[in-house]
Structures are given as structure tokens and as C-alpha cells.
């Protein structure tokens, strides 16, 4: 059926009378300077100076008493205020309404038959910031549940929270000893096909097929949905730039930097439906209808094959296109656009739809057959040109090239394999890890090592060296999947201090105390182990925890001992 379009755009009305939209046509109705209604015949929302409320869908106001839709940075003190509202673009197929704040323009792109709208934000004057987001705070008698790629089900209720004891930031202990925390609703943001909140007959979702504008790398985590503990609102977060699991991520943005478009989508709560919708959006991305950002369609691809200097293919490596000549870690980057992929078993990788520009290609081991590699690969000045395929040849990744004595875990920047490593989010899990532990090389298994160390005590590695070559020193590599400060270790080889992991010397991220179980920020250290500290026969390496802070500490990735 061909749709005949006519828009009802009634600007400058002084009365509260609103005209019924023609057919399914998208509309902007101006009530007065600070109140506008946008939508189509399926839904509409009334947007005031800051908040979008009265969100009608299927005959119901699904914001109700909740706060509604808004855009904010660095916490609630900085909610954007709309100073003007205009039709940015009207085409045969959609209406693009722009809400302007001093900091930039938030757009709603409304199609006649779409339940929901595309949204995007164009920067004008955002300050240097860590957190920037749009969100819906929705009616809690319509929406009861949250869904991410790893968790679904009821959000904790305000009654449960009120019945519990607050133990830290947005975390409560219930009478039975278990915890409630909003951080259980976090996940790796680039792994989301869709996520949102739902209840009987209603679902509200974010589908963000182009994730280039997000800060960070493959391991960027964010809080995605939660129960607002002060009001009981059901919250659906769109963390455009976030810091919830990071040591630092403060960025300045170019004028014109655009986040999105992503799709905010309404349905009856069906996962099957939103999943199908998300597949469709992925197939349509980059969106051909989106023409207002000059560089959005200027994209090319990058492919190559990575080989380790020892001849092995860089099988399964994590590959990343980010800041050229970087001065920040891949997770901390956030000014520009970022592209993530994984190499196949031959070390070959392809990035498609990469924005034109100059990048550094980085790669690191993601376990598997190269889980012993502690070096990372970096190649600057990878140029991407519109419509072209950049083929990178003979990429040689220099390994640490040392003979391994033993390794615990695998290099993948994650705690996977250890006890509780990668477990479903749960507050205080690290408190279940032992204070003292002995891991015997040759007989212990990976899961005998716990994912995190937090308590005063000693974690010992017992190993034997059958024959000591004269004066052969070793290198101890410690790879942390994350670290929450306030916990320090001394590292001893047979009772002799060879190094330390000391609070204040390591950037701190909230992973361990915000119910992270897989990763926070990655840290890598090498310690020289003098020949004189080693002996023939049985040896003991100790991670002695000398300072402890409840629920904080080290989240392990891997520990490796190699001959120097």
C-alpha cells in the first residue's frame, strides 16, 4: 500500500487545542514556547523545557508519574534544557524534529507507521565530560522487567529496597543476606542487539546498530536499565558516553560530533518481535535516509591478517580501530569513533563500514591458542577512504618471545576460567574468594584460582624447577582484568620481595564492587625475578595481600612466569 503523506505541523498555537493528526502522519504540535507534542497516530509524547512526559501508546500514558524522557551529562544537575524546537527536515517519508539546547541538538525522526522514533544528538558545546546519556524513566505499573543480552526479569521493587539495608552506592542487603544492586543490570555495551524494559502488553527498547560513537573497546560495560531507588521509576538508559566501569574517561568533543541515529522502539513486550526488528535495523545500517551528518556515509573497510612473530596465526585476537598515535588505552578512548572485531582462526579480520579517517589498529590476545601472548599489537596510520577497502599486508605481531615456565589463566583481559569468573552479576562475590590459597602447578586446575583477591592473606603458587641453569632470571607477568583500589599486594619469590601491586599506583575502576565478574579496566605488569631468588626443586611465589578494603581488590586475567 502506498502511503499518502501529509504532516500536521501547527506552530505558534496559543491555545491548548491540538489538531488530530492526518492519517498516520508524524507531527509536531507547539502548545507554547516550552511545550510541544510530537509523535504519530501510534504514539505521542509531550516535551517540556527538559522532560518528555505523557507518552501515549496503545491508549495509555506509559510515563505516568515517572520523570519521563531527558538528556543529561555528569549527573542530574546537568539535564539539557530545550531553548527552541523546530522541524529540522520534512521528507516524503519522515519528520525530523530538533530540540535545541545550548549543548547541542537532540533529534527525533518520526515515521508514520513506526512505534517509536529514531533519535540522534549533534554536539554544539558539550563540556569535557565522562557521562552523557539520554534516557526514559517510565511508569512502573506498566513496566516491571528489564532485559539485556545476559539478564532478564523483574527489576527489584521499591518495597524490597525499603526493606533492605543500604551498604554502598545503590546497593542494599536483604534480610536473607543477599544483595540488591542496580549494577546487576550492566553488560558489555557493544554486545547488545537490543535491550530495554517490558511488562504485560508493553515493551520499550533501544536498538543501536551502529556503535561507532560509543567510547571504549570490546570490553566497554554500561548500566543499561534499572529501578530508580529514589522514586521507583523504571529506567531505560542510553549511555552515549559512560564511565560506570572505568578508571577514567573524560573527553572533549568536536563541534558536530553526532551520536546515532539509534532506534527507540515500542512494542507489546515480545522479545521475538524486538529481536526481528533489531535484525532489520542492522541490515539497514548505516541508514541511507540519514543525510544530515556530512561524514556519516563516508565509510570504507579494513582487512588484514595478523601473524605472531613466532609464526602462529593471531587466532581469535581482539582487533580494534581507534585513536591514531594513541595516548590513552583502548578502553579509555572516547573522542572519536571506534570499531571492534575479532580475528578468525587464521588471524584474518575485516572491519566494514568504518568512517573515513586515520586510525591505529590494535590487537590483543582473546584467549584460545594465543592465550599465552602478553604483548599487544599496534600499527598507526591506517587510513580509511570512502568506498575503498584498505588491505593491510604482513602484519607481524611481536610476541614477548620468552620460554614459559608456567601460566595461570589465559590472556584475554577477562577473568574467565577462574572460580566465579564471568558468573552472573552479583554484588560481593569477591568476598567468597579465599584469603589464603595454594595453587600447585601441574595439579591445580584453573578454577582453583579465584577470580578476585580482596582479603588479607597469601595466594601462593607452588611450582618446581627440576634444573636451574646458572644465573637464569625470570619475568613474572601479571595481567589484571580489573582493579578496585584500596587493596595492595606484595609479591614474593621464596620469601624475597620481587614487586608489588599497590593501591594508588594502579588506576582504579569500580568493577569488583559494582558486581562485575568478567572485567573492569585491564592492567598489565612485568616484574623481574632475580636468579638468586629461584632454586632447584620446589619454589613458592606469593601474592601477599597487605591491605584490604571490603569488596575491592584485584580481578585476575592471567599470571605468567617465563625465563628472562
Ligand X SMILES: *[C@@H]1O[C@H](CO)[C@@H](O)[C@H](O)[C@H]1NC(C)=O
Give the Cα separation of 337 and 515 in Å (integer): 28
Residue 160 as a binder of ligand X (CB under 6 A): the answer is yes
Nearest to ligand X of 253, 349 (CB atom): 253
- For ligand X, what does the binding mask look like between residues 89 and 108, x meaning CB under 6 A? --------------------
Residue partners of 444: CB distance under 8 A and separation at least 6: none
Binding-site member from 65, 168, 385, 462 for ligand X (CB under 6 A): 65
Residue 544 as a binder of ligand X (CB under 6 A): the answer is no
State yes or no: cis peptide before 550, omega within 30 of 0. no
- For ligand X, what does the binding mask look like between residues 212 and 241, x meaning CB under 6 A? -------------------xx---------
Question: According to CB under 6 A, which residues from 17 to 56 bind ligand X?
Answer: 18, 20-21, 29, 31-35, 37, 44, 56
What is the nearest approach in angstroms of ligand X to the Cβ of residue 149?
Answer: 24
What is the nearest approach in angstroms of ligand X to the Cβ of residue 192?
Answer: 24
Residue partners of 186: CB distance under 8 A and separation at least 6: 148, 221, 222, 223, 224, 244, 245, 425, 514, 515, 516
Nearest to ligand X of 145, 301 (CB atom): 145
Beta bridge partners of 119: 108, 262
What is the nearest approach in angstroms of ligand X to the Cβ of residue 529?
Answer: 11
Binding-site member from 47, 80, 95, 487 for ligand X (CB under 6 A): 80
Grid coordinates belonging to 541 = 611465589
| Cβ proximity of 541 and 460 under 8 Å | yes
What is the β-pairing status of strands 27-32 and 8-10? parallel
Site stretch for ligand X (CB under 6 A), options 157-165, 210-218, 416-424, 554-562: 157-165
Grid coordinates belonging to 445 = 586446575
Residue 81 as a binder of ligand X (CB under 6 A): the answer is yes
What is the nearest approach in angstroms of ligand X to the Cβ of residue 48?
Answer: 8
Residue 207 falls in which region: left (phi positive, over 0), alpha (psi -120 to 50) or beta: beta
Compute CA distances 256 → 292, 332, 336, 534, whole Å: 11, 21, 11, 59
String of DSSP letters for 517-532: SS-SS-EEEEEEE-GG
What is the nearest approach in angstroms of ligand X to the Cβ of residue 304?
Answer: 26
Count of residues near ligand X by CB under 6 A: 39
What is the nearest approach in angstroms of ligand X to the Cβ of residue 342?
Answer: 27
Residue 471 as a binder of ligand X (CB under 6 A): the answer is yes
Nearest to ligand X of 185, 188 (CB atom): 185
Nearest to ligand X of 70, 183 (CB atom): 70
Nearest to ligand X of 40, 192 (CB atom): 40
Give the CB-nearest residue to ligand X: 232
Give the Cα separation of 224 and 211 in Å (integer): 15
**Phi/psi of residue 425, nearest 5 degrees:** -50, 135
Q: What percent helix, strand, coil does the chain show, rounded to 5? A: 5, 45, 45
Residues of this chain that bind ligand X (CB under 6 A): 16, 18, 20-21, 29, 31-35, 37, 44, 56, 65, 77-81, 140, 157-160, 163, 175, 231-232, 252, 327-328, 435-436, 457, 471, 499-500, 502, 531
Amino acid at each position: 500500500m502506498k502511503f499518502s503523506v501529509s504532516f500536521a505541523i501547527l506552530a505558534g498555537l496559543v491555545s491548548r487545542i491540538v489538531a488530530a493528526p492526518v492519517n498516520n502522519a508524524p507531527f509536531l504540535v507547539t502548545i507554547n514556547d516550552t511545550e510541544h507534542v510530537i509523535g504519530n497516530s501510534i504514539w505521542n509524547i509531550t516535551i517540556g523545557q527538559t522532560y518528555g512526559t505523557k507518552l501515549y501508546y496503545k491508549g495509555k500514558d506509559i510515563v505516568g508519574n515517572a520523570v519521563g524522557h531527558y538528556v543529561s551529562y555528569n549527573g542530574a544537575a546537568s539535564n539539557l534544557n530545550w531553548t527552541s524546537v523546530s522541524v529540522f527536515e520534512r521528507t516524503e517519508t519522515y519528520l525530523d524534529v530538533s530540540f535545541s539546547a545550548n549543548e547541542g541538538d537532540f533529534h527525533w525522526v518520526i515515521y508514520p507507521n513506526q512505534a517509536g522514533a529514531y533519535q540522534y544528538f549533534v554536539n554544539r558545546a558539550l563540556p569535557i565530560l565522562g557521562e552523557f546519556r539520554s534516557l526514559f524513566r517510565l511508569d512502573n505499573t506498566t513496566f516491571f522487567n528489564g532485559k539485556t543480552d545476559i539478564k532478564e526479569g523483574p527489576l527489584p521493587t521499591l518495597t524490597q529496597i525499603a526493606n533492605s539495608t543500604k551498604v554502598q552506592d545503590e546497593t542494599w542487603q536483604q534480610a536473607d543476606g543477599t544483595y540488591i544492586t542496580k549494577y546487576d543490570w550492566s553488560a558489555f555495551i557493544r554486545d547488545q542487539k537490543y535491550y530495554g524494559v517490558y511488562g504485560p502488553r508493553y515493551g520499550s527498547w533501544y536498538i543501536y546498530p551502529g556503535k561507532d560513537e560509543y567510547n571504549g573497546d570490546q570490553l566497554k560495560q554500561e548500566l543499561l536499565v534499572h529501578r530508580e531507588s529514589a522514586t521507583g521509576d523504571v529506567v531505560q538508559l542510553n549511555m552515549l558516553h559512560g564511565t560506570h566501569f572505568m578508571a577514567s574517561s573524560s573527553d572533549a568533543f568536536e563541534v558536530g560530533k553526532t551520536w546515532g541515529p539509534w532506534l527507540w522502539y515500542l512494542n507489546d513486550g515480545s522479545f521475538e518481535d524486538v529481536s526481528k526488528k533489531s535484525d532489520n535495523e542492522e541490515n539497514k545500517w548505516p541508514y541511507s535516509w540519514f543525510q544530515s551528518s556530512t561524514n556519516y556515509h563516508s565509510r570504507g573497510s579494513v582487512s588484514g591478517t595478523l601473524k605472531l612473530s613466532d609464526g602462529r596465526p593471531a587466532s581469535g585476537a581482539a582487533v580494534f580501530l581507534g585513536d591514531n598515535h594513541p595516548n590513552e588505552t583502548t578502553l579509555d578512548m572516547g573522542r572519536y569513533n571506534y570499531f571492534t572485531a575479532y580475528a578468525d582462526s587464521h588471524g584474518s579480520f575485516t572491519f566494514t563500514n568504518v568512517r573515513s579517517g586515520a586510525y591505529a589498529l590494535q590487537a590483543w590476545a582473546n584467549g584460545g591458542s594465543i592465550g599465552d601472548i602478553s604483548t599487544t599489537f599496534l600499527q598507526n596510520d591506517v587510513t580509511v577512504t570512502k568506498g575503498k577497502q584498505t588491505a593491510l599486508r604482513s602484519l607481524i605481531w611481536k610476541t614477548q618471545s620468552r620460554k614459559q615456565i608456567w601460566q595461570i589463566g589465559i590472556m584475554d583481559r577477562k577473568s574467565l576460567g577462574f572460580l566465579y569468573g564471568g558468573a552472573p552479576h552479583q554484588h560481593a562475590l569477591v568476598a567468597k574468594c579465599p584469603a589464603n590459597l595454594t595453587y600447585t602447578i601441574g595439579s591445580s586446575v584453573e578454577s582453583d584460582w579465584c577470580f578476585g583477591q580482596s582479603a588479607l592473606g597469601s595466594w601462593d603458587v607452588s611450582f618446581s624447577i627440576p634444573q636451574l641453569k646458572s644465573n637464569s632470571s625470570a619475568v613474572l607477568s601479571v595481567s589484571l582484568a580489573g582493579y578496585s583500589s584500596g587493596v595492595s599486594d606484595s609479591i614474593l619469590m621464596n620469601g624475597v620481595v620481587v614487586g608489588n601491586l599497590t593501591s594508588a599506583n594502579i588506576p582504579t575502576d569500580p568493577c569488583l564492587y559494582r558486581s562485575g565478574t568478567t572485567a573492569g579496566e585491564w592492567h598489565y605488569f612485568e616484574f623481574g625475578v632475580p636468579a638468586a631468588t629461584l632454586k632447584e626443586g620446589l619454589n613458592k611465589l606469593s601474592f601477599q595481600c597487605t591491605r584490604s578494603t571490603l569488596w575491592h581488590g584485584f580481578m585476575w586475567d592471567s599470571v605468567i612466569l617465563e625465563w628472562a
